[in-house]
Amino acid sequence: MVVISDTLKKLKITAVDRTEDSLEGCLDCLLQALAQNNTETSEKIQASGILQLFASLLTPQSSCKAKVANIIAEVAKNEFMRIPCVDAGLISPLVQLLNSKDQEVLLQTGRALGNICYDSHEGRSAVDQAGGAQIVIDHLRSLCSLTDPANEKLLTVFCGMLMNYSNENDSLQAQLINMGVIPTLVKLLGIHCQNAALTEMCLVAFGNLAELESSKEQFASTNIAEELVKLFKKQIEHDKREMIFEVLAPLAENDAIKLQLVEAGLVECLLEIVQQKVDSDKEDDITELKTGSDLMVLLLLGDESMQKLFEGGKGSVFQRVLSWIPSNNHQLQLAGALAIANFARNDGNCIHMVDNGIVEKLMDLLDRHVEDGNVTVQHAALSALRNLAIPVINKAKMLSAGVTETVLKFLKSEMPPVQFKLLGTLRMLIDAQAEAAEQLGKNVKLVERLVEWCEAKDHAGVMGESNRLLSALIRHSKSKDVIKTIVQSGGIKHLVTMATSEHVIMQNEALVALALIAALELGTAEKDLESAKLVQILHRLLADERSAPEIKYNSMVLICALMGSESLHKEVQDLAFLDVVSKLRSHENKSVAQQASLTEQRLTVES
């Protein structure tokens, strides 16, 4: 390496004297040394202080500017050289060279700037301040349609530079989006889809930009969906398909793009992948099956794309997805159940699916997962059943198909997501179904489990749903036996607490259930209502100006119902309810004002 130190000394002299021939020779020597041992040569270059001299060799007049840019590109492959390149003032002259017409100069300059920006905050800031990004985007636009190899190489370098410049930096990505880089890159992809290196660069750039919310609208106004699907159909290699998937997933979160992807035929590609990979145990195939079926489910999250694929329940896509549910592959069972849950987002679809035997398929699937089952499959199948149970006309059909029996098999689950969906499904099924509500409400095992879950402080969702189901059992059955079961299992205190929930709908459900308890089984529940401090809570709800009108109304109805109990009656008298109630007679809500008059009469008569 003695030669290199001589070269560096010589370079210092010739750089100042500008003797062209010996200068070229020195630069060639450096490039050779960098090719043999990049790290060591770079360290020597840094120690020699020659970097500062390079700035003067990067002027448009300099005949060796391309070689100097090439040397900078090589040394900037080392992380420790990037900040020194910025400190040596090389960024501004390099950015100036981007205005050159010489292809070799542009290529080496693009490489140099790209390498300096790689993972370097200082490098990116300097390029940003020098205005490098806009010049590169302008080049991409003007060179976009030239397909000769040299030009494609240059385009690839420029794409790479923009990627290194903006990678994982939201504000610089937003800057590129505002400069209109997205339509340009989409056009590039369309024209150069035969060029693997350039295609790959475009995909990585899309992957980075697609993470940004602001990019989605721009993407939606291009034909990206069509281009990606076209490219996807051509790919045989797993890695390439995986790269396209990584762009498709964030883009498919946008509803407009979902529809474009469906129209471009992505679904057919995904179904084909599933068919090819379903029986394979190769790791790549398992990954691809998962990615493909997950993406399929994501496309169904858009209302328009979902309805297009449902095709009134006759769609071939819908039929294929149905066939996933009885398969032996957990990933497909999961995707199938999630897809059904997504198709079940409007009454028409739900009614059609229940009439066509989907409930039985889901019940069979759940039966296969009762013992040590797959939690995600359980959760997905229960979600689908819950959605299917929303239309009134489906409830009786699902009840007679035995859905509650299947769902109750999961009462022993210790998994909060499964508990949550199980509760939601039961609550949907018994809505306005008195007989079913009574049957479930007398099921001691169920009621005891609900009371236990009402205390699941770590899982607000499970806690809320348990309370709501307890209340629903009473409200829909209006049955003394159900109330007795709930009292015996210790459920009353939870209903009283529920009346203080921050959600008006839950408060209301609790108050209606408590009023039914007071009307039907006051004697049985009296002690529990007392120890849960119900009367004090009602006083608070009536006195609080923030309470919703329906809360005030139902609280007064409940007060009147409690008068039948001597001890509760006494509590009502002790708390001066008359003052609060008489104020409500002038409430702006007519029903509240009327109920206040009735309650006032009742309190006056009974006092």
Render pLDDT for 157-176 as a digit per residue (tens, 0 to 9).
999 999 999 988 999 999 99
Q: Is the pLDDT of residue 24 over 80?
A: yes
pLDDT at res. 576: 81
Taking residues 483-489, what's their average pLDDT? 96
pLDDT at res. 236: 78
Q: What amino acid occupies position 166?
A: S
Q: How far apart are CA 436 and CA 365, in angstroms?
A: 23
Q: Is the pLDDT of residue 44 over 50?
A: yes
pLDDT at res. 168: 86
Mapping DSSP to helix (H, G, I), strand (E, B) and coil, where does residue 489 land? Answer: coil
pLDDT at res. 2: 43
pLDDT at res. 5: 64
Q: What amino acid occupies position 177?
A: I
For the chain, the farthest-separated pair of C-alpha atoms sits apart, in whole angstroms, at 116
Taking residues 530-548, what's their average pLDDT? 92
| Tokens representing residue 96 in the block | 């100036």
pLDDT at res. 314: 84
Residue (of 372, 451, 377, 382) closest to 414 by Cα position? 372
| Tokens representing residue 66 in the block | 């391309």
Q: What amino acid occupies position 383?
A: S
What per-residue string of b and e applies to 467-500 under the rule 16 or more CB within 10 Å gives b? Answer: bbbbbbbbbbbebeebbbbbbebebbbbbbbbbe
pLDDT at res. 313: 83
pLDDT at res. 214: 84
- Looking at 134-138, 250-254, 499-503, 601-605, which range is the least confident one? 601-605
How do residues 104-127 score in pLDDT, each as one tens digit? Answer: 999 999 999 999 999 999 999 999
Q: Is the pLDDT of residue 14 over 90?
A: no
How do residues 283-341 score in pLDDT, each as one tens digit? Answer: 888 988 999 989 998 998 888 889 988 888 888 888 888 999 999 889 999 999 999 99
Q: How far apart are CA 526 and CA 487, in angstroms?
A: 10
For residue 237, give every residue at least 6 positions away whose Cβ sits within 8 Å of its Cβ, in sequence order, or none: none
C-alpha of 345 from chain center: 18
Q: How far apart are CA 138 and CA 309, in angstroms?
A: 40
Phi then psi for residue 236, to 5 deg, are -110, -35
What per-residue string of b and e applies to 370-383 under the rule 16 or more CB within 10 Å gives b? Answer: eeebeebbbbbbbb
Q: How far apart are CA 46 and CA 30, in angstroms?
A: 13
pLDDT at res. 18: 54
pLDDT at res. 607: 60
Taking residues 436-443, what's their average pLDDT? 95
Split at pLDDT 50, 70, 90, the class of 513 is very high
Residue (of 575, 533, 579, 535) closest to 555 by Cα position? 535
Ramachandran region, residue 391 (left: φ > 0; alpha: ψ -120 to 50; beta: rest): beta
Mapping DSSP to helix (H, G, I), strand (E, B) and coil, where does residue 447 land? Answer: helix
Split at pLDDT 50, 70, 90, the class of 213 is confident
pLDDT at res. 594: 94
Q: Which residue has the higher pLDDT, 7 or 27?
A: 27
Vertex 133: Cα angle to 128 and 137 (nearest 5): 170
Give the whole-number percent of the chain exceeding pLDDT 90.
67
DSSP secondary structure, 69-108, as one string: HHHHHHHTTSHHHHHHHHHTT-HHHHHHHTT---HHHHHH
- Looking at 17-26, 204-213, 217-226, 491-500, which range is the least confident one? 17-26
What per-residue string of b and e applies to 297-333 under the rule 16 or more CB within 10 Å gives b? Answer: bbbbebeebbbbbbeebebebbebbbebbebebebbb
Q: Please, is 248 exposed, middle or buried when counting C-beta atoms within 10 Å of its C-beta (0-12, 13-18, 19+)?
A: buried
Contact 514, 558 (CB under 8 A): yes
Taking residues 245-266, what's their average pLDDT? 91
Q: How far apart are CA 268 and CA 223, in angstroms?
A: 18
Beta carbons within 10 angstroms of residue 196's beta carbon = 12
Taking residues 379-397, what's their average pLDDT? 96
Q: How far apart are CA 389 and CA 426, in angstroms?
A: 9
Vertex 60: Cα angle to 58 and 63 (nearest 5): 75
Split at pLDDT 50, 70, 90, the class of 72 is very high
How do residues 355-365 score in pLDDT, each as one tens digit? Answer: 999 999 999 99
Instruction: Give the CA radius of gyration of the chain.
Output: 36
CA within 13 Å, CB half, 524? 20
CA within 13 Å, CB half, 443? 20
pLDDT at res. 423: 96
**Helix (H), strand (E) at residue 41:** helix 38-48
pLDDT at res. 10: 66
Taking residues 2-8, what's their average pLDDT? 63
Contact 545, 583 (CB under 8 A): no
pLDDT at res. 6: 67
Q: Is the pLDDT of residue 1 over 50?
A: no
User: What are the boundaries of each domain within the chain?
Assistant: 433-522, 533-606
How do residues 556-589 score in pLDDT, each as one tens digit? Answer: 999 999 988 888 988 988 888 888 898 899 899 9
pLDDT, mean over the chain: 91
